[in-house]
Amino acid sequence: MSETTQLQVQELSRFAQEQDFNQQYRQYFGDVWEEVGVRDISKMTIQDAEQTLKVLADSEASPQFIKSLLAQAAIDGATPQVLEYFLASDIDSDGRTLAQEIFQDGTNPLQPDTPQPPPKAQVLSPSPTEDLDWEI
C-alpha cells in the first residue's frame, strides 16, 4: 500500500471515529451490504468492493453517504486491500479517484467533475430541392 493510500485510510478511519452513526444510518449501510451479499465486512473481497461501487452508482448515493459507508467499513474491519481498492477507484471515469473526490475536492464521485461537451448539434438547413411558399 502506498504512503498516500495509507494516509487516506488513516483519514477515513479518523473520519469514522468522529461519526456517531445512529441506527438509521447503520440500517442504510446494512441495506447496501445486503444487496452486495456481504455478511462479514472483514471478509470482504475486491469483487465485493466492485459490486458495492456498482450498487452505489446505481442508487445515486450522495458523496457524504459514500464517505460514511466507507468509514463504517473501516470501523467494521474491512481489510486494507479492500479499503485501498475503494479509495483508488474512479467510478465516474473522470480521472479523479474516489479518495481525491471525497477528501480533497468535495465532489460527487458518481458524477464526472469536468463538464462533458454537449452532443453535437445537428444543423438543419432548408432542402435545396423544396421551394415552399407560405401563405396565410
Per-residue pLDDT reduced to its tens digit, 105-135 = 888 888 887 654 444 544 444 555 555 555 6
3-state helix, strand, coil in the chain (%, to 5): 55, 0, 45
Per-residue pLDDT, averaged over 63-92, amounts to 90
Per-residue confidence band for 136, with pLDDT thresholds at 50, 70 and 90:
low
| Res. 9: pLDDT tops 50 | yes
* Buried/exposed 46-81: b ≥16 CB within 10 Å, e otherwise: eebbebbbebbeeeebebebbbbbbbbbbeeebbee
| Res. 45: pLDDT tops 70 | yes
Per-residue pLDDT, averaged over 48-76, amounts to 90
Alpha-carbon torsion 32, 95, 81, 10, what sign? negative
Q: What is the pLDDT of residue 133?
A: 59
Q: What is the pLDDT of residue 90?
A: 92
